[in-house]
A = this chain, B = another copy of it.
């Protein structure tokens, strides 16, 4: 199985919320060249991080595409003549089937491809990355085991090898429902409630974690995951039914109660 080189530097395309998170964690280890088409006032905070042209960034041996899923196809067309044979290109999108298809179709066959989905964001990693999960989908060039070892042993991430389809099926439930519930809850539940329960507070905490995500993330999850619509419909149907016919909970732990009155 081919192995990636010891990457000497990293090209990072996209300096939004997630690009910055990547830069913060990788820049202490390796030089990073960042390209973002949107002007930013932010100056690099780490000496090993600098802004470069798209060509310079694409010429790195490992190129990370931290752009919205909808921006992947035009970006890959622009990148195709700039990336070198043997380069590893990886994306970090919240869905994996669509970006995998784009990268495989558009980028030259001599380029190695890896789909990744870090299952965390700026909110959930305030205490650090350790223990968080990352899904890796090898697309071309085999499993980059050295990169996986870095993710495991340096960043203490749990690495989950999977395929784009298996990923999107699970995440349709995991992220699709979380974001759907979070957004709807934020819109109907005022923040001034006093009489809150522990379970409601956990749901509010979960909601706050994801409602700060970039709008592109929400769109990718609710619209670009091909399995999201079915899961969403099942959830909404069950929820609508419950109002009419409350059911016995699946896990019935209660002892007999005083219903005999």
Contact = CB atoms under 8 A, between A and B. Distances in A.
B74 A187 contact: no
Given A180-B243, A197-B124, A246-B223, A257 B216 contact: yes
A189 B173 CA distance: 6
A67 to B, nearest CB: 4
Contacts of A249: 183, 186, 211-213, 215, 218
Interface string A226-261: 001101101110111011001111111111111111
Contact of A254 (B37, B42, B212): B212
Interface size class of A (residues with CB under 8 A): 35 or more
B214 A254 contact: yes
A53 interface: no
Interface stretch (A2-10, A14-22, A80-88): A14-22
Interface string A175-218: 10110111111111110011111111011011111111111101
A255 B16 contact: yes
Contacts of A20: 255
A69 to B, nearest CB: 11
A133 interface: yes
A104 B75 CA distance: 70
Contacts of A239: 180-181, 183-184, 232, 235-236, 239
Given A68-B259, A180-B243, 5 more contacts: A133-B197, A170-B193, A180-B239, A182-B199, A183-B249
Interface of A: 13-17, 19-20, 36-38, 40, 42, 66-68, 70-71, 74-75, 78, 117, 119-120, 123-124, 132-133, 135, 160, 162, 167, 170-171, 173-175, 177-178, 180-190, 193-200, 202-203, 205-216, 218-219, 222-223, 228-229, 231-232, 234-236, 238-240, 242-243, 246-261
